[in-house]
Structure formats: structure tokens, C-alpha cells
Amino acid sequence: MGSKERILRQKDDTRRKILDAALDMIKCDGCDALSMRKLADHIEYTAPAIYEYFENKEALYIELARKGHMKLAAMVKVAKEAHSEALEQMEAMWLAYWNFAGTYKELYQLMFSVGTGCSPVENQIAEAIVFPQMVSEVIRVLYLPREVSDEEVQRKYYTYWSVIHGLIAINMIQLTRDENMNRQILQDAIRGIAASITL
């Protein structure tokens, strides 16, 4: 490996270390407690060294959320491709979304500003559109052979998302049901909305 490649790899490793440390601090203390100085102390860097990689806290939040949206899209894509029927794909995709939120709780909270105190950054991330597009494609298939407008597809997507994201947010803020009941509510919601499309 040449010196140029080694330097690039070291920069990538440092960037990853900064992001991992920032997420760890957010997990422990919330977004409001994170500062570039505290982050630098946490990983034993100087604050100017952190600023070489990220302009400010918001840039850190955006990059963490971007990585989260990419990871979510990858998980959902795998779930979708495991099935050939649109109804099965829809359920698998939303179950993957649910599992992502449970597995990467703090990242999910940061991505959607759920109980973190972080400012919403979703509109600043191009990758945030990938998941809605995947779901919208399957919604269109569920309507076949009927024609469906873009507005109707968007409405159904937001119907799904508001119910499922709402259930996730409720559980993140205050767990009120056991996991089996949550799964049943989730499946009932997914199937109920699908049934309203395929009637």
C-alpha cells in the first residue's frame, strides 16, 4: 500500500472513530450534551482536529443520519428481495424498518428526531428518500391493474409511515406493551392498510 492510500485510510478511520464516538455520546447523554470540545476530549483529540473532519455538530448529526438512512435502505432492500409477492414484500419491508429501529435505536432517534433534542436533519439528506421510494414502488404494484396517482401513493406511504413510526416512537419514549403485542399491532396495521389498497 502506497503512502497516499495509507493516508486516505487513516483519514477514513479517524472520521469513523469520530462518528462512532459522537453516537456513543448521544446514546449516553443526548444531542444537547454533545459538543465538539467534549467529543475531542472523549477520543483524546484536539478540537481543531475534529473540525478538520466536521464543520460543526450539525454536520456530525447529518453524517450519522445519512449513514443510518443508508443502513435502513440496505436492510429493507434485502427484506423486499426475499419475497416475490407485493403483499409479502410490503410486510417484510415494514418489519425490517421496525427491526432497524429496535436494533439501531439511537441512530433511528437521531434520523427522525425522536426524543433526542436534536434538530431534524432528514430534509438535508439525499439518502432519506430511498426507503420511501422503495415502499412507494410496492404500493403502486398493490394497486395494479388500477391506475393510481402519485398523490394517492404518497398518501398511502404516509399512512403506513405515520402508524408504524408512531408505534416505534411511543415505544422508544415509554414502553407500554410487550414485544408480542407490539408485533401484532404492527402486522395488523400493515395488513389493514394493504387491504384498503387491494379492495
62-82 per-position pLDDT tens digit: 899 999 999 999 999 999 999
Torsions phi, psi of 142, nearest 5? -60, -30
118-171 per-position pLDDT tens digit: 666 777 788 999 999 999 999 999 999 999 999 999 999 999 999 999 988 888
- pLDDT higher than 90, residue 199: no
- pLDDT higher than 90, residue 198: no
pLDDT tier, 4 (very low <50, low <70, confident <90, very high otherwise): confident
The C-alpha cell of 198 is what?
A: 387491494
Give which of 196, 193, 197, 195 is closest to 94, Cα–Cα: 193
Structural domains of the chain ordered from first start = 1-54 (1.10.10.60), 66-198 (1.10.357.10)
pLDDT of amino acid 88: 96
Q: Are the beta carbons of 54 and 64 closer than 8 angstroms?
A: no
Model-level pTM greater than 0.75?
A: yes
d(CA 36, CA 48): 9
pLDDT of amino acid 71: 96
Segment 28-54 shows an average pLDDT of 86
pLDDT of amino acid 118: 64
pLDDT of amino acid 125: 87
Query: What three-state secondary structure class fits 83?
Result: coil
Q: Among all chains, which residue has been given the C-alpha cell 483529540?
A: 45
- pLDDT higher than 70, residue 173: yes
Q: Are the beta carbons of 121 and 61 closer than 8 angstroms?
A: yes
Biggest CA–CA distance in the chain, Å, is 63
Give which of 19, 25, 28 is closest to 42, Cα–Cα: 25
117: region left, alpha or beta (phi > 0 left; psi from -120 to 50 alpha): left
d(CA 140, CA 149): 9
The top-scoring range by mean pLDDT among 24-33, 40-49, 175-184 is 40-49
Q: What is the mean pLDDT of the chain?
A: 88
pLDDT of amino acid 115: 64
